[in-house]
Structure 1
Amino acid sequence: MYVLPTLMYFQVHGFFNLNAAAAIALVNVGITLVALLILTWLNRRRRFVTVTGVTRRMPKSAGRGARIFANVYVWGLLFVALLPQIMVIWISFAERWAGTVFPTEYGLGNYITIWPVLRQVITNSVFLAGAATLMAVVFGTLVSYSSVRHKFKGKWALDLTVMLPFILPGIITGVSFLITFNSGPIVLTGTAAILIFAYFVRRVAYVFRTVSASLSQVDTRIEEASTVCGATWGYTMRKVTVPLVAPGVLAGAIIAFADLVSEMSVTVFLYSAQWKTISIAIFERLVADETAAAAAIGSVTIVLVLSLVFGASKLVGKNMADMFR
């Protein structure tokens, strides 16, 4: 059974029929937009009214049975959520698996095998994701400021433009960039630039949303007080606004970078031999039926992303949950 993304992949990599891939992408876009319109229509029909402004604190269940149930439920849910990552790390150490339930031999052979390739793909992934994240931070922050602090016609169009590539499947973005920059006045096929721009378009919504949420919590009178004291707009932005929304900017940047390091749906259409990423290296190992080697690359990716997230959290002295408050 084939789905639309699979058909687009075969049209590009199997036949290099960009016209057919574009037609399938258009059908996918139409289905997505229809679903969004239906969802918007349903939400508009619902009206919620606060009956009273008085709230009462719900009593806590202090019984031993309630505590045991809560702990089992929470830790069990966390275990199920982390089970795929645990399995990836476990399989990465399997060197021999002769049709038994568990591997019969463990070691570091998979990591030794992938190391020559791993250095290049990690460098490529970090560079591409870092460049795209930097662009998203600058652009997303400025657009968020304009959207939150100013009133103008067509604000909905600006919001839709930023959010649409995030809502649509990434495979459509990949096909769109491939068709646009494969010929004509600007040819970027096979370069790092096409991946960086595609990553930027795909994940700028993270920064846009987090910065918008942070700006909405900053009282405009703080900025007005800086202006009254004689500060220019640029000075107010550097010394007042940006420091106040910095946790939101950093939170959006962390999420965007962590997601882009292992981006697959866009990369599979736009990468070249010189710019292979972590996700492509994993995909190639899986196609070659080298599951343990693919798991080893995935394990390194997990450690890399967690290290970057924890490092950024320590840098600002806040955990990820606090950054979104």
Structure 2
Amino acid sequence: MTALVARLRPFTLLTLLCAALIAVLLFYPLGRMVHSLAFGGTGGGFSDALGVLTQPWLAPVLFNTFVIVGSSTVLALAIGAVMAWGNVRTNASIGMLGTLLPIIPLLIPNVALAIGWVFLGAPRVGFLNGLLALLPFGLELNIYSWGGLIFVYTINAVPYVYLIVSAALRNLDPALEEAARINGAAPLRILRTVSLPAIRPALISAALLVTITSLGVYSIPSVIATTAKIDVLTTRIVFLLNRDFPPKLAEAQALGIIMLLAVLALWWIEVRMTRSGKAATVGGRATSTGVIDLGGWKWPFRLGSLAYLAMTSIVPIGALLIVSLQPFWTPKINWLALNFGNYHQALFVNRLVSGSLGNSLFLSGTGAVIAMVIAIVVAIFSINRFGLLSSLVDGAIKSSAAIPNMILAVAFLSAFAGAPFFLSGTTTILLMAFVVMYLPPGAIAASATVNQIGRDLREASSIAGAGEGRTVRKVIVPLAIPGFLSGMAIVFVHMMGDLSAAALLSGPNNPVVGFAILSVWEAGTFGVLAALSVMLCIINIGVIGLIFGVGRLFGRR
């Protein structure tokens, strides 16, 4: 073993250590959770876990989760696929704006999105209901309903579908659509019978990703479903651990195992469907620049895209901003009474809120740097090597993407909160969880960036006598810095807006923004809640702008 390590190059050894660290931090907690569930001993473990199956609330929780996640996934697939097709394959595209529209919600924490829609659609006091009250027919929205919950889940999921489907559509051979158009097919028929069937594997992958993400999301149901008295898996898990006394860890672990089994089943279905060979194939010849003419539908599509932007970002953020400036939340806006009192409360009076902002900035900044360093090392390693080892290393750091964050949070609580680590309520456990949960987006960004660097540049460096380390330092890293910074921005935003880990792993001694939002929400101080949400959005946008600005400077060198 010692001889083997001695033969390994330093960079290879560093890569293997990074992959091993992430694998341990991922699979040890999951294994510990399963072991604790099976051999928990007296008062816990397998017997208590089996008791979950007899609980009267289990069937409604599973049914509610199935309906909400299933419905929002179908709707997100439809909306995301149509928007991607319109922006990529038709003349209804509105350029760069159309490309950015569907992914803007990714820059807004989903908890802020959910709270913004509460301020808009809450019965009687929501701003939209204040406007509807002026109409003669008495229409009222209710965000605290099945429809409201599915709506927010859907707009939160659309960006994931759009990113995957738009990439697949860009690689689609236009000859398939041109042949259908020559034969007289209308644009919508081309979409239904040619474009979407040709990218069936991408649609299936998008559906799996959306389902996994929606299964593990806690921020949206914690804000909307609890008030609507709609119980889902994530809210029930948090209730068992934080609201029941003593905490029912075994039952929470059992629900986590149910979620994990559901994900594994979906993954198996995806593999079978994508390998079935029933999807249309994409031609291998060069693609043309032809687009489908939507005729009279071009401008309605463009207006719909702009309406989507307003619905998913401008309107809810505007609602947050207004409530943050109001002395108290009311649908009747007194513009002369708006002030910054809630921001003063959040920054200088409420120590929980002000402390959480500092802690989240530190954890998200540190976690984003750690995650991207690991992602960069593995991406550079993978591009220079092929085979089983490279696949294992790449899979190790991306595998957490296939596990809902709530399951990972429960696993970390099971493994590290008690003996022998005693990390409950510490910054360390949150940092480890953040890195494991949000490493995959950074790894994907790093891999995409490194793969764009031509092999000829690396070969030229090698021919000039540079070793692997010098090639990495002088060629790969300088060219890839803008892409690495983009990945860091994505990871930072995810960590800042996290509620899954915050709900279970944070506490009064180490509050983060997610924990503070939950606490302020339960206290009913909506002005401070809105101010905190607005500051969170401003921080995210500011950090993203700074990172991308630095990336442009490096890109011009």
TM-score computed with the length of structure 2 as normaliser = 0.53
1:299 CA drift (Å):
0.6
Q: Distance in 2 between matches of 1:74 and 1:49?
A: 28
Distance across 2 between alignment mates of 1:77 and 1:107: 30
Name which of structure 1's ranges 33-42 and 122-131 shifts more when overlaid on structure 2. Answer: 33-42
Alignment RMSD: 2.4
Q: Structure 1 residues 259 and 18 mapped into 2: Cα distance closer, same or farther (>3 Å)?
A: same
Say which is worse superposed, 220-229 or 49-58, in terms of deviation. Answer: 49-58
Q: Are residue 225 (structure 1) and residue 460 (structure 2) matched?
A: yes
Counterpart Cα distance in 2 of 1:274 and 1:54: 57
Greater Cα shift, 151-160 or 272-281: 151-160
Note closer, same or farther for the CA distance 1:11–1:56 as it changes in structure 2 (3 Å cut).
closer
| Structure-2 separation of matches of 1:77 and 1:202 | 29
Match of 1:18 among 242, 249, 254: 249
- Cα distance, 1:317–1:119 mapped onto 2, change above 3 Å: same
What does residue 29 of structure 1 align with? 260
Aligned equivalents of 2:523 and 2:261: distance in 1? 35
CA positional deviation for 1:270: 0.7
Contact in 1 for aligned 2:481/2:551 (Cα 8 Å):
no
CA separation of 1:52/1:229 partners in 2, compared to 1, >3 Å: closer, same or farther?
Answer: closer
Query: Residue 363 of structure 2 aligns to a residue in which SS?
Result: helix
- Alignment counterpart, residue 288 of structure 2, candidates 49, 55, 64: 55
Verify the 8 A CA contact 2:482 2:548 in the aligned structure 1.
no
Question: Residues 95 and 103 of structure 1 are in contact (CA less than 8 Å); yes or no, is this contact kept in structure 2?
Answer: no
| d(CA) in 2 for partners of 1:211, 1:51 | 27
Letter in 2 for 1:316: G
Partner of 2:342: 110
Q: List alignment gaps of at least 5 residues for structure 2.
A: 1-229
Q: CA deviation at 1:74?
A: 3.4
Which residue identity is paired with 2:341?
G
Normalised to the residue count of structure 1, the TM-score between the two structures is 0.88
| Inter-CA distance 114–230: structure 2 relative to 1 (3 Å threshold) | same
Distance 1:221 1:93, change over 3 A: same
Q: Which runs of 5+ in 1 are unaligned?
A: none
1:273 paired residue among 485, 488, 508: 508
For 1:262 and 1:234, how far apart are their aligned partners in 2?
36
- Aligned equivalents of 2:481, 2:435: Cα separation in 1: 20
Per-residue deviation, residues 154-199 of structure 1 (Å, max 9, x unmatched): 5544444323322322111111111111223333222111111100
Quote the residue 2:206 is aligned against. Answer: none
8 Å Cα contact 1:268-1:280 kept in structure 2 = yes
Equivalent AA in structure 1 for residue 468 of structure 2: W
Displacement of 1:68 after TM fit? 5.3
- Identity, % of aligned positions: 23
Q: Which residue of 1 aligns with 2:356?
A: 121
The answer for the alignment partner of 2:234 in structure 1 is 5
Q: Which amino acid aligns with 1:9?
A: V
Q: Distance in 2 between matches of 1:77 and 1:121?
A: 32
Please give the alpha-carbon distance, in whole angstroms, between the structure 2 residues aligned to 1:149 and 1:93. 54
Determine the C-alpha separation between the residues in 1 that align with 2:468 and 2:526. Answer: 55
Whether 1:43 and 2:274 are equivalent positions in the alignment is yes
Separation (CA, whole Å) in 2 of partners of 1:51 and 1:215:
24
In the TM superposition, what whole-angstrom CA distance separates every residue of 1:201-259 from its partner, at most 9, and x where no partner exists? 01111111011112222222311221221222211111101112222211110000011
Q: In the alignment, what sits opposite 1:94?
A: 326
Cα contact 2:482–2:552 (8 A) shared by 1: no
Task: Quote the Cα distance in structure 1 between the aligned partners of 2:380 and 2:437.
Answer: 20
Structure 2 distance, partners of 1:145, 1:111, is 44
Q: Report how many residues are paired.
A: 315
8 Å CA contact 1:96, 1:103 repeated in 2:
no
Q: Which residue of 1 aligns with 2:432?
A: 197
Within the candidate set 384, 395, 399, 1:164 is matched to 399
Q: How does 1:174-193 map to 2 (within 5 A)?
A: 174-193=409-428
Q: How many angstroms apart in 2 are the aligned matches of 1:211 and 1:165?
A: 16
2:511 matches 1:293: no
* Residues 285 and 305 of structure 1: CA distance in aligned 2, closer, same or farther (over 3 Å): same
Alpha-carbon distance between aligned partners in 2 of 1:309 and 1:39, rounded to the nearest angstrom: 34
256-265 or 156-165: bigger deviation: 156-165
Residue identity matched to 1:3 = V
Local SS of the residue matching 1:95: coil
More off after superposition, 123-132 vs 102-111: 102-111
Alpha-carbon deviation of 1:145? 2.1
Match of 1:115, as an amino acid?
A: L
| Cα distance in 1 for residues equivalent to 2:325 and 2:508 | 28
Q: Which one-letter code corresponds to 2:288 in the other structure?
A: T
> Would you say the 8 A contact 1:283–1:294 is kept in 2?
no
